[in-house]
Amino acid sequence: MDNQYDTLSEATNELSKRGYTIDFNLVSDGIECRKTNEKFKAADFHIDEFHRFEGNSNPADMSIVFAVSTTSGKKGTLIDAYGTYSDSISAEVLKKIKIH
């Protein structure tokens, strides 16, 4: 997907307006919402869209915001500093986010 936002904060604000209100975090076998303590395995969520952002001073300083929906109807965002978590998550989750 082409990046339609100039900044990470613009993307998260617009996605929130579109219903992606939960703040998801990567865990070893999926994603979680720390606020509600809900966890979702790789099979239980979908990446609807994503947007990449490069750092102003260093192009290697990249982050990605994923718009995520779960099979139970929850919607939120997952922000990944590009490649940061690749050693600490399961192959299933890594495969799901690497596709994008």
Asked if residue 20 has pLDDT above 90, the reply is yes
Residue 2 lies in a domain: no
Instruction: Output the pTM of the full model.
Output: 0.79
- Contact at 8 Å (CB) between 15 and 24? no
Residue 89 lies in a domain: yes
Residue 3 lies in a domain: no
- Residue 79's domain comprises 8-98
> Per-residue confidence at 1, pLDDT binned at 50, 70, 90?
very low
Q: Which residue in the block uniquely carries the two structure tokens 């992606």?
A: 20
* Per-chain mean pLDDT for the chain: 82
> b/e map of 55-89 (b: 16 or more CB within 10 Å)?
eeeeeeeebbbbbbbbeeebbbbbbbeeeebeeeb
Residue 1 lies in a domain: no
pLDDT in tens, 37-63: 999 998 999 999 988 887 665 555 578
> Per-residue confidence at 5, pLDDT binned at 50, 70, 90?
confident
- Contact at 8 Å (CB) between 65 and 74? no
Residue 91 lies in a domain: yes
Number of domains in the chain: 1
Residue 24 lies in a domain: yes
